[in-house]
Amino acid sequence: MPDDKIQAFKATLQQKIQTLITEFAEGTISREQFHAIYERYTGQIALADMAGSANENSAAAIISMAQDGPPTIAVKESMIAKAIGMAIYDHRSGTLLETLGAFDVPPDKLAPILNDFSLMIENRKRLEREVRKFAARKWLVFAAGRFTTVVTLFYNEPSEAQGREIARLHHDFEQANQPAFTSGKVDAGKLAYPFLVFVQKKVQKKG
């Protein structure tokens, strides 16, 4: 295989790596997606380097090997995070307001972080989103607002962009239901849930 074709193949891979780096920097892919795809591209570059020092027949076979396997887009899509379910907790009462979707997380797994959030809220400290791995391919995202904390269960690691989407929905949830929260009389059956769009959309994609 001519050296210029090998170099062109490597240049294409370098461009793909730069695109991948930009996607992660912008928060549109997760760390797991980044690592899996980065490893794939660098492995292909290593094979291209081997091809560069091989005879023509061997070089062609090595490049063919580098191009084998599922398309990168299929690898990326197989690792996209999907929201399985949510749990919403009321700060004032410390109770569970509502669950949406399939939220099968034992309370003892949530309690330590929820307790930490409660203490920080009492001390008026700024709360950042918490992302924790819960089980194989299952992740939890904790997001606290003025009145509530939302815990979202994901299949696969969520991206930063998905975390921002939860924060936006949480803000809309608290604004829409502010009269109920400020009155101290919260009836979960009468609240509006912007989260339903997010959970149902992701569950449908999974199926």
Q: What digits encode the pLDDT tens for the residues 37-76?
A: 999 888 888 877 776 665 555 555 555 655 566 677 777 8
Instruction: For residues 6 and 60, give the distance between their C-alpha atoms in angstroms, rounded to a whole number.
Output: 9
The total number of structural domains that make up the chain = 2
Query: Is 144 in contact with 110 (CB distance < 8 Å)?
Result: no
List the one residue out of 77, 71, 70 whose CA is nearest residue 155: 77
Which residues form the domain of 97? 82-206
Are 53 and 139 part of one and the same domain? Answer: no
Query: What's the pLDDT at 203?
Result: 44
Amino acid in the structure at residue 181: F
Are 89 and 69 part of one and the same domain? Answer: no
Residue 157 in 3-state DSSP? coil
Instruction: For residues 96 and 142, give the distance between their C-alpha atoms in angstroms, rounded to a whole number.
Output: 14
Strand bridging mode 148-155 / 96-101 = unpaired
pLDDT at 34 over 90: yes
Are 86 and 71 part of one and the same domain? Answer: no
Are 172 and 92 part of one and the same domain? Answer: yes
Residue 2 in 3-state DSSP? coil
12-32: pLDDT as tens digits: 889 999 999 999 999 999 999
Are 192 and 108 part of one and the same domain? Answer: yes
Are 107 and 142 part of one and the same domain? Answer: yes
Instruction: For residues 112 and 99, give the distance between their C-alpha atoms in angstroms, rounded to a whole number.
Output: 19
Instruction: For residues 157 and 138, give the distance between their C-alpha atoms in angstroms, rounded to a whole number.
Output: 7
Are 150 and 120 part of one and the same domain? Answer: yes
pLDDT at 159 over 80: yes
Largest CA distance in the chain: 79
